[in-house]
């Protein structure tokens, strides 16, 4: 074993038995996003390091210690993207997508962060990100959240709680930050080392601390909601009213922050208590200042990113049902003539029923060993032909998943037979791994 190469720690292979549930999540996401008129954009996985330093900020966990940064052969500093928003904004500015236009965009792909690997936290992980440019009202914030709620429903997920907060404008937050720092400095000794460091670098992130002592201290700290400007408050109230009207439940969490200066107004997270410490499945908010900050014309923006590994772990926890992608039929053929006939028959069936999944046995072997493989494939039926069947122009159909006799059906009737007995929308549970 010591000589065999292994994947890098925190970077996972997604094996064939796992990909059907990934495809289910991706297909469902695509369908829901299309239902709201969102269009896909694809960006490179590598960007200039500068982009992330500028957009995410030098004093965030990501830039301070999580980026995969390297110098390429030209001597340029490049970074494997730790998230997608920066690249998306860069691409939109570069291609003029947001000059006086509204864009509703989404992307998916791997992101890279050098974190301590644990359940729900990896060094390569997949996100689906959604970004909207050119809309500043609460209606689009509501749309994003309503769309996400619909996604959970389509995926069959339960028990995700929406937490919401408003950060106000940059000025309102700056005033709050001053008051918070003053309060925390007076209680400096009670802060843990991490929070003491953040007090210097990024004090708002202290609100996010998981340390119960720090949280207790924050109980008496100044409250962001007391500093929120009137416009932001009205924006937030209008968002809440839309969510109420749409029947999307939420909790207001006054401690919810994003540690980046360009975030403002709405911030949100969808969280679950079913995934241990890594319970945030989807996180986002409004970042009206970023486009300007990265050199584009000032454009309001709002978006979110969700972690697909966490979503899938939750689907597994909740025994969700998803489409079965195992073959419908496994073709068992004995002898040269039957094998050739079988191959052509499978082609004719695929012509007639484009949704049908047939796996053809290759490599010969006894009936017994072929049936074993048929069984292992997860197929519903074995389609059986030997020399006798070819002579009679009939195939045997043997149920593999339930009891039932083998039947004979004429070659010419097979397509009609399967059109009636099979469909393309069978399902299975995430837990019946194959
Ligand atoms: P956390 O507080 O869990 O570190 P974050 O604030 O760093 O999350 P974001 O940058 O907002 O996360 O990313 C959005 C989502 O991407 C997260 O809510 C989570 O679902 C997922 N995610 C982030 N980092 C990882 C990771 N290392 N492994 C797996 N999923 C991740
Ligand atoms: Mg993180």
Residues 33 and 127 reside in one and the same domain: yes
User: What integer pLDDT is reported at residue 56 of this predicted model?
Assistant: 87
Supply the residue whose CA is at minimum distance from atom 19 of ligand 1: 307
For residue 157, report the distance from its CA to the centre of ligand 2, in Å. Answer: 23
Q: Is residue 192 in a domain?
A: no
Q: Is residue 272 in a domain?
A: yes
User: What is the extent of the structural domain holding 43?
Assistant: 19-168+228-321
User: What integer pLDDT is reported at residue 425 of this predicted model?
Assistant: 72
In angstroms, the first-to-last Cα distance of the chain is 26
- Mark which of 321, 344, 378 sits at the end of a domain: 321
Residues 292 and 405 reside in one and the same domain: no
The secondary structure of 240-263 as a DSSP string is HHHHHHHT---EE-TT---S-TT-
Rounded CA separation 417/284 (Å)? 50
Supply the residue whose CA is at minimum distance from atom 23 of ligand 1: 307
Taking the CA of residue 281 as reference, the ligand 1 atom at the shortest distance is: 20
Distances (CA, A) of 161 to 33, 148, 183, 267, 283: 21, 11, 31, 14, 12
Q: Is residue 277 in a domain?
A: yes
146-205 confidence digits (pLDDT tens):
999 999 999 999 999 999 999 998 888 889 999 999 999 999 999 999 899 989 888 888
For residue 82, report the distance from its CA to the centre of ligand 2, in Å. Answer: 10
For residue 64, report the distance from its CA to the centre of ligand 2, in Å. Answer: 12
User: What integer pLDDT is reported at residue 280 of this predicted model?
Assistant: 95
- Mark which of 305, 321, 337 sits at the end of a domain: 321
Residues 303 and 363 reside in one and the same domain: no
Residue ranges in the chain modelled with pLDDT below 50: none
Ligand 1 pocket list (CB less than 6 A): 83, 113, 115, 120-122, 125, 127, 278, 280-283, 305-307, 309-310
Supply the residue whose CA is at minimum distance from atom 20 of ligand 1: 307
Residues 283 and 383 reside in one and the same domain: no
For residue 154, report the distance from its CA to the centre of ligand 1, in Å. Answer: 22
Q: For residue 156, what is the domain's CATH number? A: 3.30.930.10
Q: Answer yes or no: pTM beyond 0.75.
A: yes
Judged by phi (left if over 0) then psi (alpha if -120 to 50, else beta), residue 322 lies in: beta
For residue 315, report the distance from its CA to the centre of ligand 2, in Å. Answer: 22
User: What integer pLDDT is reported at residue 374 of this predicted model?
Assistant: 96
């Amino acid at each position: 074993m010591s000589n065999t190469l292994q994947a890098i720690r925190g970077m996972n292979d997604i094996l064939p038995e796992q990909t059907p549930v990934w495809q289910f999540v991706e297909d469902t996401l695509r369908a829901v996003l299309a239902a709201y008129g969102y269009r896909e954009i694809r960006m490179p996985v590598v960007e200039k390091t500068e982009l992330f330093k500028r957009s995410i900020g030098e004093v965030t966990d990501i830039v301070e210690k999580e980026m995969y940064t390297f110098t390429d052969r030209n001597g340029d500093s490049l970074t494997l993207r730790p998230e997608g928003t920066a690249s998306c904004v860069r691409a939109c500015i570069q291609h003029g997508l947001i000059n006086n236009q509204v864009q509703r965009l989404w992307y998916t792909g791997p992101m890279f962060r050098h974190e301590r690997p644990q359940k729900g936290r990896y060094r390569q992980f997949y996100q689906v990100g959604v970004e909207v440019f050119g809309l500043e009202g609460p209606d689009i914030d509501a749309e994003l959240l309503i769309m996400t709620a619909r996604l959970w429903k389509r995926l069959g997920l339960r028990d995700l709680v929406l937490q919401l907060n408003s950060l106000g404008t940059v000025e309102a937050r700056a005033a709050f930050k001053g008051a918070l720092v003053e309060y925390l400095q007076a209680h400096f000794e009670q802060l843990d080392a991490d929070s003491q460091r953040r007090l210097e670098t990024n004090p708002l992130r202290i609100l996010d601390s998981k340390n119960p002592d720090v949280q207790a201290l924050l109980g008496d700290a100044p409250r962001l909601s007391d500093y929120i400007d009137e416009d932001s408050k009205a924006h937030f109230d209008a968002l809440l009213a839309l969510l109420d009207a749409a029947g999307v439940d939420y909790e207001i969490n006054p401690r919810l922050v994003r540690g980046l200066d360009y975030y403002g107004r709405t911030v949100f997270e969808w969280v679950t208590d079913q995934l241990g410490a890594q319970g945030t499945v989807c996180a986002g908010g409004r970042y009206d200042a970023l486009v300007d900050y990265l050199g584009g014309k000032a454009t309001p923006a709002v978006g979110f990113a969700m972690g697909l590994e966490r979503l899938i772990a939750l689907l597994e926890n909740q025994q969700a049902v998803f489409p079965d992608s195992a073959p419908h039929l496994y073709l068992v053929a004995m002898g040269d003539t039957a094998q050739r006939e079988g191959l052509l028959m499978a082609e004719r069936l695929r012509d007639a029923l484009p949704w049908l999944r047939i796996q053809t046995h290759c490599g010969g072997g006894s009936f017994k060993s072929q049936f074993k493989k048929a069984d292992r494939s997860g197929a519903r039926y074995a389609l059986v032909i030997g020399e006798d069947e070819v002579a009679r122009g009939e195939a045997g159909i043997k149920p593999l998943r339930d009891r039932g006799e083998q039947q004979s059906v004429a070659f010419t009737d097979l397509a009609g037979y399967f059109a009636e007995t099979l469909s393309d929308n069978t399902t299975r549970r995430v837990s019946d791994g194959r």
